[in-house]
Structure 1
Amino acid sequence: MSSVVCLHVPRFALAVAAAGRRELLGVPLALAPQPGGGHRIGEVSPAAEVSGVRAGQQLGEALARCPRLVLLPPDPVAVEARWERIVERLEGIGAAVEVGSADATAGTAWLDADLIRRMHGGTLEGVLGAIRTTLGQPVRLGVAPTRFLARVAAARARARHAVVVVDRPLSAVPSPAGEALAQGVALRAVLDEEPVATLALREDLAGLVAPLERLGITTLGRLASLSRGAVLERFGAPGLTAHELLHGHEAPLRPREPPTVIAADLRLPEAVSGPQLRHALGLLIDRVLADPQRRHRPLRALRLQAALVERGTWQERVVLREAMTDPQRIGLALGLRLDGLPAPAERLGLRVEALGAPVPQDRSLLEEDVEIRRERLREAVRQARAAAGPDAALRVVEVDPGSRIGERRMALTPFEG
């Protein structure tokens, strides 16, 4: 059974926005609404939660509940940069890290401890100690057989103690400093104590919380004790997914590939206007296209970033309709997003998120049409996954044709061109 380690930094974006200002300790804080994202606040501090403020609330409701609430401008660029440094440090100890999709919230990552156990003393405690040493900051660590259970364990952990979820109780293991490095807990005990609202850690299962609570299923243990058929009949595919998660059935980790960093930034003069912004954008596009790391590959997805004059940052991810290298067409696609800049900017940046594959030049005359169609299909799949995630292109496979349950007759698997 694998040992999946979940590293969780609570309120990561809020901590980056606060920038270590000690005068904000104990003050009710919240991230101001994102520009163009409605009037809902972001992460909130514990002092704000005491007053009934929750992340995702309408700004007016949050201020009505807590008039002393201090709003901090979000800084997504700094959040991304700091989280990237944390992930690179984890990769520096040999770990293959999964960080989720490009639009996932920073602050949570997963790795397989079994792959690097021999590099750090051959024990799980050695791996956890290496993680804490290389990061040098308080983090919550949870260990379990699957990704979801490890995330639940990390939510129960504290800065100095990792929670290890196993099938049987595990005694605390002392570290060389004499402190308990890992605290063992049985899986059944975790499920019996965790509220069913924990399913909201996964966006695709958040809609199950309210129906389960109305039926009196208030803990994960009660949901896990139900039969698989009963859950499927009452709650459908989402309920079956939740039931399998609680029984330790989940897809293996998908570590990220080492990124190729292609980026450019430009400091802007004061009172820059629209035409000047477009000219600066054109310079950034030319610099990105001229980067030797691109190796003649077309651009598929880019991230437009700006540091605002009134503090805070802004960014927008743009997936091109097709991978291309034409600077004029790229400029047209990015220019539309540049019009949504919420405030004057003092710095403009452009970062490549994904690259396309170079089109092979040499084909035989008889195979050209077939190869062109196949390459177009593969390119469409890659483009869809860049825009909507790795599960955007799936293939339907017949598993049990004689079953009366639709979920058993067919299954979805990743499409391979």
Structure 2
Amino acid sequence: MTVRTLLLWCPDWPVIALEIVEGTPAAGPVAVLHANRVIACSPAARAEGIRRGLRKREAQSRCAALVTADYDPGRDTRAFEPVIAAVEEVVAGVEAIRPGACAVAARGPARYFGGEEPAAERIVEHVAQTCAVESQIGIADGVFAAGLAARSGRVVPPGGTARFLAGLPVEAINRPALTDLLRRLGIRTLGDFAALPPGDVLARFGFDAALAHRLSAGQDHRPLAVRRPPPDLVVTETYDEPLDRVDAAAFAARSLAERLHEMLTRYGLACTRLGIEAVTEHGQELHRTWRHDGLLTAGAIADRVRWQLDGWLSGTNRRPGAGGPLPAARPTSGIIRLRLIPDGVLAHLGQQPGLWGEAGEERDRAHRALHRVQGILGPEAVVTAVLGGGRSPADRANLVPWGDERVPARPAGQPWPGRLPPPAPAVVLPAPLDAAVLDGTGEPVGVSARLRLTAAPDRLVVGTAAPVSITGWAGPWPVDERWWAPAEASRRARFQVSLADGTALLLSLAGGRWLVEAIYD
């Protein structure tokens, strides 16, 4: 069930955070860059033609007075901590979405303040008075829709979220590769995207696109299958020496995050919402909940704990020019207890751990053992498979010595005309098996020069085995390799066939000889 959500959004937050932390005036033309491209800019910069996505050189050519700074998520988080604290003074249960945005269930504030709009006005006013930060609030069914509604400060009526999303451009799902493809297919709005059959979207574009399709239809996927975790999933660490430096806290955060992720992996679970609790030497209790749009990996958990501890331990007490103190976000003493609570977990069905685990001593031991085998038997004794380019499954699989750079013999990015369509076979035979394809009268089936079957395939005989009925086939897919060198030329036609016993095979025909090349799962 989609939850009615109130989301507070601070426009141009990386620019505002730069002013709060480093004193760079946001009133002038300012741009924050990541990977040499603009990801946020001030209103004055937009007036000069600066837009998100511009390269640094082009942005500077449009505005010679432009002040640029590199993107720093830690800086953004530290600056946003007082804003979250200010919101938490008005409503309870605030979740940090990302630096610059936080959300809360709308039902409680609406009942307390007499409606959703009065609650939104109260929160915005309190943040402005306390932190001197401008903000906007959007209210809709689900976090995704509320985030888009916040861009225009809109309250979407209950049940109207799908209608609200339908008119927005497809770029709102914030997946550039997918939106570029959808645009080329003529899908220009979220309504057009939501109208596609869900099964077709999953089959054509993949799992992430299927999630984006649900969001486009106004269906928030996050609450599905979320359950309250058992008590033993909580990890806690107590420190004899209080953590009062950010570097020491970051080291402690990574160790605790790895423990939590290892425990979740052991139970086959993944974390989507993380609670961080800290107790200081003076008994002060701090708590924050972080929300994530995907599954939190060990690195992502460690980053959020590090950002939060950085925000608590290095919080700025005053914004330049604000004229008033911010909420007291910095603790009065060092942290002596840290606790991580996976407040939203679900069954981890989409990722399989590595052969020797994802990290740690077991993996290192396996690597050392493999290197010892190579030292005794030679580098070719231990190999790993690399998927490269080619027209057949046997051509695409390359074996590279363990420890060498995993570079395929043939580049996979080339077009490779005549390449087999998916799905790929599960087993590629080291040596193809001789076979015969017969029609209904027992005569061999061939392929004409125009790539037409001489008769409908009816039975398959592999070696000396009994004939098996053919229930379906696809092809032929011709391959004409090295035709310019007659001595090395190779020409063949390939087929995918399904048999009555449920087996699916990849067959090839060359020079009148049928071969079984691979087996499908």
Report the AA paired with residue 70 of structure 1.
V
Q: Does residue 387 of the first structure (1) align with residue 387 of the second (2)?
A: no
Contact in 1 for aligned 2:173/2:216 (Cα 8 Å): no
Q: Residues 93 and 243 from structure 1, CA distance in 2 versus in 1: closer, same or farther, beyond 3 angstroms?
A: same
Alignment deviations for residues 180-200 of structure 1 (CA, whole Å, 9 cap, x no partner): xxxxxx641x23431111111
The one of 163, 179, 189 equivalent to 1:219 is: 189
Which residue of structure 2 lines up, in the alignment, with residue 62 of structure 1?
59
Q: CA deviation at 1:376?
A: 10
C-alpha separation in 1, matches of 2:71 and 2:15: 8
Q: Residues 196 and 130 from structure 1, CA distance in 2 versus in 1: closer, same or farther, beyond 3 angstroms?
A: same
Q: CA deviation at 1:110?
A: 1.1
TM-score, scaled relative to structure 1: 0.52
C-alpha separation in 2, matches of 1:222 and 1:355: 42
C-alpha separation in 2, matches of 1:13 and 1:374: 34
Q: Does residue 84 of the first structure (1) align with residue 81 of the second (2)?
A: yes
Q: Does residue 110 of the first structure (1) align with residue 103 of the second (2)?
A: yes
C-alpha separation in 2, matches of 1:46 and 1:235: 36
C-alpha separation in 2, matches of 1:79 and 1:53: 21
Please state whether the residue corresponding to 1:93 is helix, strand or coil. coil
C-alpha separation in 2, matches of 1:91 and 1:375: 29
Contact in 2 for aligned 1:150/1:165 (Cα 8 Å): no
Which residue of structure 1 lines up, in the alignment, with residue 241 of structure 2?
290
Report the AA paired with residue 208 of structure 2.
P
Q: Does residue 194 of the first structure (1) align with residue 186 of the second (2)?
A: no
Contact in 2 for aligned 1:6/1:147 (Cα 8 Å): yes
Q: CA deviation at 1:210?
A: 0.5
C-alpha separation in 1, matches of 2:264 and 2:3: 37
**Higher helix proportion (structure 1 or 2):** 1
Contact in 1 for aligned 2:30/2:42 (Cα 8 Å): yes
The one of 115, 120, 139 equivalent to 2:135 is: 139
Q: Residues 133 and 59 from structure 1, CA distance in 2 versus in 1: closer, same or farther, beyond 3 angstroms?
A: closer
4-13 or 243-252, which moves further after superposition?
243-252
What is the correspondence of 1:331-350 to structure 2 with a 5 Å cutoff? none
Q: Residues 208 and 289 from structure 1, CA distance in 2 versus in 1: closer, same or farther, beyond 3 angstroms?
A: farther
Alignment deviations for residues 272-292 of structure 1 (CA, whole Å, 9 cap, x no partner): xxxxxxxxxxxxxxxx75229
C-alpha separation in 2, matches of 1:53 and 1:84: 28
Contact in 1 for aligned 2:17/2:75 (Cα 8 Å): yes
Q: Residues 386 and 96 from structure 1, CA distance in 2 versus in 1: closer, same or farther, beyond 3 angstroms?
A: farther
What is the correspondence of 1:201-280 to structure 2 with a 5 Å cutoff? 205-250=175-220, 251-252=222-223
Q: For CA contacts below 8 A with separation 6 or more, give which structure has more relative contact order.
A: 1
Report the AA paired with residue 5 of structure 1.
L
Report the AA paired with residue 291 of structure 1.
P
Q: Residues 49 and 238 from structure 1, CA distance in 2 versus in 1: closer, same or farther, beyond 3 angstroms?
A: same
Contact in 2 for aligned 1:156/1:163 (Cα 8 Å): no
Please state whether the residue corresponding to 1:99 is helix, strand or coil. strand
C-alpha separation in 2, matches of 1:93 and 1:50: 35
**Higher strand proportion (structure 1 or 2):** 2
Which residue of structure 2 lines up, in the alignment, with residue 43 of structure 1?
40
Contact in 2 for aligned 1:95/1:112 (Cα 8 Å): no
Please state whether the residue corresponding to 1:291 is helix, strand or coil. strand
Q: Residues 130 and 52 from structure 1, CA distance in 2 versus in 1: closer, same or farther, beyond 3 angstroms?
A: closer
TM-score, scaled relative to structure 2: 0.43
The one of 119, 130, 133 equivalent to 2:122 is: 130
Q: CA deviation at 1:8?
A: 0.5
- How many pairs were matched up? 267
Which residue of structure 2 lines up, in the alignment, with residue 12 of structure 1?
13
- Structure 1 stretches of 5 or more lacking a match? 169-185, 255-287, 294-301, 306-315, 324-353, 358-372, 398-417
C-alpha separation in 2, matches of 1:376 and 1:231: 29
Report the AA paired with residue 300 of structure 2.
A
- Structure 2 stretches of 5 or more lacking a match? 227-238, 275-295, 302-341, 351-521
Contact in 1 for aligned 2:16/2:26 (Cα 8 Å): no
Contact in 1 for aligned 2:138/2:147 (Cα 8 Å): yes
Q: Residues 355 and 126 from structure 1, CA distance in 2 versus in 1: closer, same or farther, beyond 3 angstroms?
A: farther
C-alpha separation in 2, matches of 1:386 and 1:73: 25
C-alpha separation in 2, matches of 1:22 and 1:320: 30
Backbone CA RMSD of aligned residues: 4.4
Q: Residues 8 and 96 from structure 1, CA distance in 2 versus in 1: closer, same or farther, beyond 3 angstroms?
A: same
What is the correspondence of 1:289-368 to structure 2 with a 5 Å cutoff? 289-291=240-242, 303-304=246-247, 322-323=255-256
Contact in 1 for aligned 2:264/2:270 (Cα 8 Å): no
Q: Percent same amino acid at aligned positions?
A: 27
C-alpha separation in 1, matches of 2:209 and 2:33: 34
Contact in 2 for aligned 1:165/1:187 (Cα 8 Å): no
C-alpha separation in 1, matches of 2:178 and 2:75: 34
Report the AA paired with residue 387 of structure 1.
G
Q: CA deviation at 1:223?
A: 1.0
Report the AA paired with residue 19 of structure 2.
A
Q: Does residue 396 of the first structure (1) align with residue 349 of the second (2)?
A: yes
Contact in 2 for aligned 1:196/1:219 (Cα 8 Å): yes
Report the AA paired with residue 223 of structure 2.
P
Q: Residues 215 and 15 from structure 1, CA distance in 2 versus in 1: closer, same or farther, beyond 3 angstroms?
A: same
Q: CA deviation at 1:58?
A: 3.5
Q: Does residue 163 of the first structure (1) align with residue 114 of the second (2)?
A: no
